[in-house]
Amino acid sequence: MRRFKVFSLVAFALAALSFASLANQMQRGGLGAIEGLVLDQAGVPVVQAKVEACNVFQGGCVSTVSQSNGFYRIKGLAAGRYSLWAEANRYGSVWMPLIIVDEGQITRQDIELRREIPTFGIQPPPGIEPITIVE
């Protein structure tokens, strides 16, 4: 029982130090953010679009969902290079391979999603290319 208490105390102390370090880094402006609007091709906000930023070199991803006005913000990002992925129901997905996040800065990146035409799971026969329909 005593080992468990010691282990719990050490784990709590490490968690507190990690949180303090993160808070200190944020106060110094060490972390950045990516924000922008998710819009369709007509400029209409896309609600509840999932937007995910992944650190290119260190790995790890952080995601959020766009608001009713299409606005999204992913904060608490270490300075570096990120890929950005966005998708929403009834829309295609978009991948942006290189978004730069600077220390203490907000990187603005608007995203355009295109409406998908439902295929209802029907695939063309082998050797026949699907036709793309533009609204």
pTM: 0.66
Q: Identify whether the C-beta of residue 60 lies closer than 8 Å to the C-beta of residue 52.
A: no
Q: DSSP characters for 50-98?
A: EEEEEETTT--EEEEE--TTSEEEEEEEESEEEEEEEE-TTB-EEEEEE
pLDDT tens track, the chain, 135 positions: 555 454 454 444 444 444 444 444 444 458 999 999 999 999 999 999 999 999 999 989 999 999 999 999 999 999 999 999 999 999 989 999 899 999 999 999 999 999 887 666 666 677 766 565 554
Domains in the chain with CATH codes: 31-113 (2.60.40.1120)
pLDDT at position 16? 44
The total number of residues written for the chain in this structure? 135
Q: Which residues partner with 112 through β-bridges?
A: 39
Bridge pairing between strands 93-101 and 61-65: unpaired
Q: Identify whether the C-beta of residue 116 lies closer than 8 Å to the C-beta of residue 91.
A: yes
Gap between the terminal Cα atoms of the chain: 67
